[in-house]
Amino acid sequence: MRIFLAAPLTNLYDPTTGFNRDYREIFERILRMLKDAGHDVHSAHLIENWGKALRQSADLVVENFNSVRDSDLIVAFLCTPISQGVLIELGWGSAFQKPIVVILDPLLEYSPMVLGLADVTKVRKVFFELKDGPDQLVKILKKALIA
């Protein structure tokens, strides 16, 4: 299966300290789990070396748009600060009626536009708090992908 990972990149990258360590561990675990299951995963995090090799808008917009269009599933991670890029990718995915697994923090409030995506495409909501750690998220995500 071709999976597009929509997750914050520039919001979690600092040129001095690099990519946020907690989120990097989580995203690496998600990527490893998906790849170990035999999926072909598109991840800007890997393409852009965790923020060290950011691409120009023209390149990344076209590539991400095409990757969302060609994917079989979108896995989206929403956290604070909310990533505008992830929201755009969710919009593309829902417009193409791609199934979406969206990872949400139960302690945060989300736009009715995000919460209402299930009105236009198949959406499975997964709830996860950062404090629960990557092992818990991988376990929850595996169940969501099977269902």
d(CA 113, CA 145): 23
Cα(130)–Cα(132) distance, rounded to whole angstroms?
5
Q: Tell me the domains of the chain and their CATH numbers.
A: 2-146 (3.40.50.450)
What pLDDT, in 10s, does the model give residues 41-76? 999 999 999 999 999 888 889 999 999 999 999 999
Contact at 8 Å (CB) between 1 and 69?
no
Tokens of 137: 């998220």
Distance, CA of 67 to CA of 71 (rounded, Å)? 6
pLDDT tens, residue by residue, 80-123? 889 999 999 999 999 999 999 999 999 999 999 999 999 999 99
> Rounded to two decimals, what is the model's pTM?
0.95
Q: Is 94 exposed, middle or buried (0-12, 13-18, 19+ CB in 10 A)?
A: buried
pLDDT at 147: 66
